[in-house]
A and B are shown apart, each in its own frame.
Chain A
């Protein structure tokens, strides 16, 4: 049901020109490289075909003072990759703030008894004081690890998530971790994810991946024999339960998910990963590194997939099934057929309420491209998209999704995003908490595409129904028609009451 459309490339090019004019010359020159309009590639068509080219520079330092929306390496490691591993204690090592602001904010759902055998929604910090900066924090870290062992004995390991000062004062968290791991016979992983490293969250993902390679893999004898259909799900953080809504499908087609990285994961699931037959990677950006490593070292193939929206779910399920042969392929067709009535009913209900609405996205990781088809499945049109921390390979992949004329913005600044939204006036913006309220003040419906706006899951067939419902309730709420006082009313569109 692929939607055919072109976007207004001329308008978008003009908008780019306009925002650049506002910058000091030097800054304009640098920003120019990150903004672009997608151009038609080869003819759109089969699965995997390139439909456009998004030639923007990426993964470059943010410019000071422009209000980048990016985060830091710590956010990429503690916030994204490691934080969801539920049976480990993640120590935010340094001052109190980083752990505080990232406390319970990613919605990585898990099942467990928090504070007893799982620790996901807790904030463990070394709460650095001036004396720790001056004299170093290694002794304190040793003591912290001992105290965690005393108070939380059912932890299955720890990570030490370095905040900015650690790398600057020359602490040796590796030595402490090694010593204490031996003493307590536990896995203790030091992660050098100081916030000043790299240009965004992205290096934090990479460092976190490397820490798994260096401090988890091959450290223990793993008594696990893989079956023929054993897979790992990599790069699903179970936000609002995404990984669960995915897992249920993979199990239905006959696969065994022996590890989920890292939403709702235990350390055991990470440790055993090299024994699986295939790595299925959802968030390519944050976890491709470890997949490449597992391929090289353990010979495990990896495959990207996309569980947003029925078109991509079907295509992905079939692609995965092909890897495993006729038996799984047959089961997959049965699963697709079983869910078809749900998909048809969701589209029948919501497409008429959403058809033709335009959407701008600005997110991180995989979503600026992965969700595009899910919107299109509902008849919506993506007019602009961009990434906080993408690399070149992400923009290449984006060409498989977005149409000719789409506005592309890398590491967008607050100013640019506001002007682009003003100029395009989309019917919906999907971005983060920092962007939510400015956009809504303009009278434009908004959904948070990091946290699913406290809803979700959005993955899988079950998630697609929720996604469709949420777009409907965002766009068709009557509040958007109330913005103008009647004594200075301008005609506006009408809301559609919920059914």
Chain B
């Protein structure tokens, strides 16, 4: 009997015990009707081949393990970055359960959102009644300052019109006439979560800025972070830098406190977020800066329409990307970059110099959202690494071209390949046929790590199977230091593992590296 009260074995050790191994072998043999082992082995080997890769990359319809989610997730994340804002997703209710679970599993935090719970009758007659009743209930139960409405694909397919529905709801006194209910149509069959983010942020600023007079306040800027699983660390780090510079700035969308509430006995359904007054005032800013261009294209267009200058970055981390960001802020706001920040920069460069011998020539596969992949490729090249495969399932041809330009400009990008629209099953073939030293992505990459043996660095949303990484910044020089250390730890841990066998490989098991 494997189990005992003294040493309780859970699933990981329990099923390795002989009783269970015997039982499972017996089950397979007698009841599962499995394929012969040889057939399985042959197919497994075949999937490692160039021939399989070609079949795999030639897929036209099937998508396997895509690294993207759908629009409303981005909208719910976006809404979480505003003061006392409740997300209201119009359509089927199961979707909302999924978004909330998904965000909670990454942040290890509460994630609130409500659904209009449309069912078959709403599919036939439209969801107006659900919207009216739903807004009234949400308003009364959850005491929001604002309700941000987005849509599931069900509501989009039947063509519910949010603008008129919300108007109707006001007419029926579901919410007070002057209560803020911005909205965004977020069809799941267009784009991905980054577009839903864009849509919702645009919906919110448009709600507050539309038809208002704008008198530009010189030297003030807005920052839109984009969909960022590391917002907790990143936003706080960026604020620190901007405060050091003495800049007048306002974050438009900031979920850093909402997804990092303290444990002190009180459950805060809402915490932090951009204040509504600040969103209104942000119209006056001289410029709006996006930290992730591909997350904010429509919002930036709108900012230009209202007369703001705009600038966009690709997830500024590492040396040059942070340089560019700070110099742009400095130019826009007329503030010097202080010496303290220059020293921070120097410390990151110092660390990179200390470790360069371990990084030079290392090959990477990087996947994730378009701006993140761009940023990582750039930083990897700054360390002397080679981003062999850069993949974004939600990357467009414009992204591909822009990233290619970056790669072409560096000798470290000479052998790099950019894969827009491909999924992680395609990446599996790429890793088998053109292997790399390290894989940068999120938790889903663990299956690639298992199959191909490529060590995985979890640096992007979602991270389910490691805790608290998102509480630390990746952006800025400090963030660069964290990314650098994460990469180095992985390299050294692997080297130690590979050289750790006593009397066989441990001559290389060096104390100092």
Q: Residues of A at under 8 Å CB distance from B?
A: 22-24, 26-27, 61-75, 87, 94-98, 100-103, 105, 109, 111, 113-117, 121-130, 132-133, 140-141, 143-144, 147-148, 150-151, 153-154, 156, 163-165, 167-169, 195-199, 201, 240-241, 244-245, 247-248, 251, 257-259, 264, 266, 268-269, 338-339, 342, 345-346, 348-350, 413-415, 418, 432-434, 436-443, 455-457, 461-462, 465-466, 468-469, 479, 483-485
Contacts and interface: CB of A to CB of B under 8 A. Distances in A.
A168 B266 CA distance: 43
Given A129-B190, A462-B2, A465-B3, A456 B267 contact: no
Interface string B451-494: 10000000000000000000000000000000000000000000
Contacts of A338: 1
B104 A437 contact: yes
A325 B310 CA distance: 80
B255 to A, nearest CB: 15
Nearest to A267: B33
B117 interface: yes
B187 A241 contact: no
Nearest to B139: A65
A64 B117 contact: yes
Interface string B136-157: 1110111000000000111001
Contacts of B88: 65
B8 A266 contact: no
Interface stretch (B56-64, B294-302, B408-416): B56-64
A70 B31 CA distance: 35
Of A71, A264, A432, A457, most B-chain CB atoms within 10 Å: A71
Contacts of A440: 263
Given A434-B97, A441-B261, A61 B137 contact: no
A68 B95 CA distance: 12
B216 interface: no
B435 interface: no
A195 B95 contact: yes
B236 interface: no
B188 interface: yes
B153 A244 contact: no
A8 B284 CA distance: 58
Interface of B: 1-6, 8-11, 14-15, 19-20, 23-24, 27-28, 31-35, 39-40, 43-44, 47, 52, 55-56, 59-66, 68-70, 72-73, 88, 91-95, 97-102, 104-105, 108-120, 122-123, 130-131, 133-138, 140-142, 152-154, 157-158, 187-190, 192, 261, 263-269, 425, 428, 444, 447, 451
B40 A154 contact: yes
A318 to B, nearest CB: 20
Contacts of A462: 2-3, 9, 14
A195 B89 CA distance: 14
A98 B189 CA distance: 11
Nearest to A456: B11
Nearest to A479: B263
A127 B63 contact: yes
A441 B189 contact: no
Contacts of A130: 187, 189-190
Contacts of A133: 157, 189
B356 to A, nearest CB: 37
Contacts of B154: 164-165, 168, 195-196
6 interchain residue pairs of minimum CB distance: A72-B94, A97-B70, A64-B134, A65-B134, A101-B98, A345-B5
A127 B66 contact: yes
Contact of A72 (B69, B93, B116, B269): B93
A259 B115 contact: no
Nearest to A435: B110
B141 A195 contact: no
Interface centre among B104, B122, B266 (most CB of A within 10 A): B104
Contacts, number: 344
Given A27-B137, A168-B157, A457-B11, A483 B263 contact: yes
Contacts of B34: 87, 117, 266
Given A97-B70, A455-B11, A24 B136 contact: yes
25 contacts: A65-B135, A69-B97, A95-B70, A96-B188, A97-B98, A100-B66, A105-B101, A109-B15, A115-B425, A117-B43, A122-B65, A128-B153, A143-B61, A147-B59, A154-B35, A154-B40, A196-B92, A197-B119, A244-B15, A415-B142, A434-B97, A434-B100, A437-B110, A457-B11, A468-B8
Contacts of A129: 189-190
A499 to B, nearest CB: 9
A485 B264 contact: yes
A195 B94 contact: yes
A457 B11 CA distance: 6
B40 A116 contact: yes
B263 A154 contact: no
A378 to B, nearest CB: 12
Given A109-B15, A151-B62, A241-B15, 20 more contacts: A22-B140, A64-B115, A67-B113, A68-B117, A70-B97, A97-B69, A97-B72, A105-B101, A122-B65, A125-B66, A128-B188, A132-B189, A140-B61, A144-B62, A151-B56, A153-B43, A418-B267, A434-B110, A441-B261, A465-B5
A34 B97 CA distance: 20
Given A196-B120, A196-B123, A96 B23 contact: no
A349 B447 CA distance: 38
Contacts of B113: 67
Contacts of A111: 24, 28
B93 A70 contact: yes
B187 to A, nearest CB: 7
Contact of A442 (B8, B92, B131, B265): B265
B55 A469 contact: no
Contacts of B266: 441-442
A66 B44 contact: no
A437 B105 CA distance: 10
B99 A96 contact: no
A223 to B, nearest CB: 10
B141 A62 contact: no
A268 B33 contact: yes
Nearest to A247: B23
Contacts of A479: 263
Contact of B62 (A96, A148, A167): A148
A248 B18 CA distance: 12
A86 B265 CA distance: 43
A165 B98 contact: no
B117 A443 contact: no
Contact of B104 (A199, A433, A461, A483): A433
Contacts of B63: 96, 124-127
A197 B3 contact: no
A61 B188 contact: no
Nearest to A450: B101
B265 A483 contact: yes
A24 B192 contact: no
B48 to A, nearest CB: 11
Given A116-B43, A169-B157, A437-B110, A164 B65 contact: no
A87 B56 CA distance: 20
A64 B63 CA distance: 33
A127 B192 CA distance: 10
B98 A71 contact: yes
A49 B120 CA distance: 39
Contact of B20 (A73, A143, A248): A248
Given A163-B153, A266-B33, A465 B4 contact: yes
Given A64-B133, A109-B11, A151 B35 contact: no
